[in-house]
């Protein structure tokens, strides 16, 4: 079952049909509710109209959005390459092999871009990529109760100039998109799931790549345990798990590019570069 946040409120999708969720707020569901029980109850009702793409909102309310970094070998290598002139590369190898993961703050819920909305490139950056990532939906008890798709927009030139510039490379208006829905977990995460990235320019594929969750070096539960180690999240949290797909060093995003990120079993997050 999947949960959609829409202009009509929360909807549950089951076997292609949509149902109203009795509890209207994700904050309540992730802050002490039982997402699976709420979904099971919802599908006992009568089906409602399928939401149009214009009705979709990002499946996040007051949750903080955090991100993990350098959790795939491809990400380690790309960062080492982009920071070779600043001497920052060693940091990335060290965090890739360290016990403690890299975690950074990405967005407040209100800044997250909706599915179909526009993500942005910073005006003071010349080298930009989308980062297609599995996003963990975590309740206030630190349990992973769902999965969604995220785009961790990143300015590679700013990040490569100095590792201390990471927050500026990663956190700005329009840098974080999540959606289209939350896959409600009813069992373990399927490590065979693939993540696909397609970037279209003028309607033609300018970049295509894929990876699978088998390439993710860290256990999602381990990432969550570090995030929740010294912080409470009364309304739950969202945690990006890192990117395993980075376009070649000669690629940068352009205005008007369309970014499509698909994760098996969840769906496709589509955004245009403003
Ligand atoms: O360390 C820099 C950011 C890493 C990141 O966002 C990723 O690996 O996905
Ligand atoms: Mg990332």
Pocket of ligand 1 (CB under 6 A): 67, 69-71, 75, 79, 102, 131, 152, 166, 242-243
Contacting residues for 207 by C-beta, under 8 A, at least 6 apart: 197, 198, 199, 247, 251
Residue closest via CA to ligand 1's atom 3 equals: 69
In this prediction, residue 211 carries a pLDDT of 98
* Alpha carbons 23 and 21: distance in angstroms, whole number: 5
Please report the pLDDT score of residue 87 as a whole number.
81
* Ligand 1 center from residue 244 Cα (angstroms): 10
First vs last C-alpha separation in the chain: 32
Give phi and psi for 241, each to the nearest 5. -105, 5
Give 90's Cβ-side CA count (13 Å radius): 2
Residue 42 C-alpha to ligand 1 middle, in angstroms? 37
* Structure-token pair, residue 147: 């999965």
Question: What is the number of other CB atoms lying within 10 angstroms of the CB of residue 138?
Answer: 24
Q: What local confidence, expressed as pLDDT, does residue 25 receive?
A: 93
Pocket test for ligand 1, best of 65, 66, 67, 155 (most atoms within 8 A of CB): 67
Cα–Cα distances (Å) from 95 to 13, 105, 198, in that order, read 39, 17, 28
| Cα-based distances in Å from 52 to 42, 115, 263 | 20, 11, 20
Q: Whose CA is nearest to atom 1 of ligand 1?
A: 69
Whole-model pTM above 0.85? yes
Question: Measured from the CA of 92, which atom of ligand 1 is nearest?
Answer: 1
CA 150 to ligand 2 centroid distance, Å: 9
CA of 14 to the centre of ligand 2 (A): 30
Residue 150: nearest ligand to its CA?
A: 2
Residues in the chain: 274
Segments of the chain with pLDDT less than 70: none
Pick the residue whose CA is nearest to atom 9 on ligand 1.
Answer: 242
């Amino acid at each position: 079952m999947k949960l959609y946040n829409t202009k009509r409120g929360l909807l549950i999708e089951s076997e292609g049909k949509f149902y109203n969720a009795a509890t209207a707020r994700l904050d309540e569901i992730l802050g002490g509710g039982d997402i699976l029980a709420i979904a099971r109850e919802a599908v006992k009702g009568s089906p409602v109209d399928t939401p149009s793409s214009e009705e979709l909102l990002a499946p996040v309310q007051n949750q903080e959005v955090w991100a993990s970094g350098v959790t795939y070998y491809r990400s380690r290598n790309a960062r080492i390459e982009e920071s070779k002139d600043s001497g920052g590369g060693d940091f990335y190898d060290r965090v890739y092999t360290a016990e403690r993961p890299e975690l950074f703050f990405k967005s407040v819920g209100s800044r997250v871009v909706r599915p179909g909305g526009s993500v942005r490139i910073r005006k003071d950056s010349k080298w930009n990529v989308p980062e297609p990532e599995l996003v963990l939906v975590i309740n206030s008890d630190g349990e992973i109760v769902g999965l969604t798709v995220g785009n961790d927009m990143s300015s590679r030139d700013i990040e490569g100039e100095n590792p201390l510039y990471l927050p500026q490379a990663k956190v700005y208006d329009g840098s974080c998109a999540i959606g289209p829905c939350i896959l409600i977990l009813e069992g373990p995460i399927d490590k065979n799931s693939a993540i696909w990235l397609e970037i279209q320019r003028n309607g033609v594929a300018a970049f295509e790549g894929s990876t699978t969750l088998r390439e993710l070096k860290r256990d999602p539960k381990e990432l969550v345990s570090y995030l929740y180690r010294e912080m409470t999240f009364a309304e739950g949290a969202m945690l990006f798990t890192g990117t395993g797909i980075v376009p070649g060093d000669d690629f940068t995003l352009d205005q008007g590019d369309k970014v499509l990120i698909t994760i098996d079993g969840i769906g496709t997050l589509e955004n245009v570069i403003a």
